[in-house]
Amino acid sequence: MIQKIDHLGIAVKSLDESILYYEKSLGLKCEHVEEVESQKVRTAFFDVGGTHIELLEPTSPESPIAKFLEKNGEGIHHIAFKTDDITGQLKQASDSGVKLIHETPFEGAGDKLVAFLHPKSTHGVLTEFCACKA
Amino acid sequence: MIQKIDHLGIAVKSLDESILYYEKSLGLKCEHVEEVESQKVRTAFFDVGGTHIELLEPTSPESPIAKFLEKNGEGIHHIAFKTDDITGQLKQASDSGVKLIHETPFEGAGDKLVAFLHPKSTHGVLTEFCACKA
């Protein structure tokens, strides 16, 4: 079952400038900054009433975020739903005709299991399921 | 102060098809469907652990959502932050150099006061503040 929106991933060109915007203009507080080498991004997290905003800055032109920025510019990249049963959630989506980017979950940031659905079958929203490891 | 993410607005071509996706593929439950004549949209709401997903289908080619769909296709349209002080929040944003779409809040759906910041000064994210009416 989906429990909540875990986080929103937002693609940005400069993490430092964007952190400044979220802190100064919105009054939110950056909790921590982390580099995720496997995804070639540097990330910054803000807790907004239990849902996180995750800013994503590419660290290489090969980063998926660099490609997103090139095509779309800065903006919301994905939405992540927290679930207590990621395998069941993937099966439900797949059974109903959704194309999966990942058939099986893999280890993402923050020691979570994650998997993505393809935006072509989710009405344009790149969608992630994430779950705490058992 | 920003209290939480109130909702995510998602632009869709067909409300009925998208409701089916969110219900069948993700297992969420549509709470209600409402037409907002002033914005020329039909909307559907899903409660996801306290944050709402608001699907937006245009009811006229002049709807801002119709224009968004034409330019971008389906996808996340805006993020709305719930605040207890919408005037103070707008002033803080404006004082830090953010361009406002609305200098003063106006009455939105669900009997709330709402105002938008311009995505050109929010790193690509159309951003709404919303507050309960005093």
Q: Render pLDDT for A85-110 as a digit per residue (tens, 0 to 9).
A: 999 999 999 999 999 999 999 987 77
How many domains does chain B fold into? 1
Which CATH number belongs to the domain containing residue B119 in this structure? 3.10.180.10
pLDDT of residue B133: 82
- Pairwise CA distance, residues B38 & A52, whole Å: 31
Determine contact: B43 vs chain A, CB below 8 A: no
Residue A91: predicted pLDDT: 97
pLDDT, tens digit, 9 for 90 and up, residues B91-127 = 999 999 999 999 999 987 777 899 999 989 999 999 9
Instruction: Give pLDDT, residue A36.
Output: 86
Contact A4 B50 (CB under 8 A): yes
Please indicate whether, in this complex, the C-beta atoms of B5 and A49 are within 8 angstroms of each other: yes
Q: How many angstroms separate the CA of residue B12 from the nearest CA in chain A?
A: 7
Residue from the list A2, A73, A76 with its beta carbon closest to the beta carbon of B26: A2
3-state SS assignment for residue A119: helix
Helix, strand or coil for residue B72? helix
Q: Which amino acid is at A17?
A: E
Instruction: Choose the closest CB to B25 out of A48, A75, A92.
Output: A92
Element (H, E) at A18: helix A15-20
**Residue B96 pLDDT:** 96
User: pLDDT tens-digit profile of A22-60?
Assistant: 999 999 999 999 998 888 999 999 999 999 999 999 999
Residues of chain B with pLDDT under 70: 134
CB B101 within 8 A of CB B117: yes
* Domain ranges, residue A125: 2-132
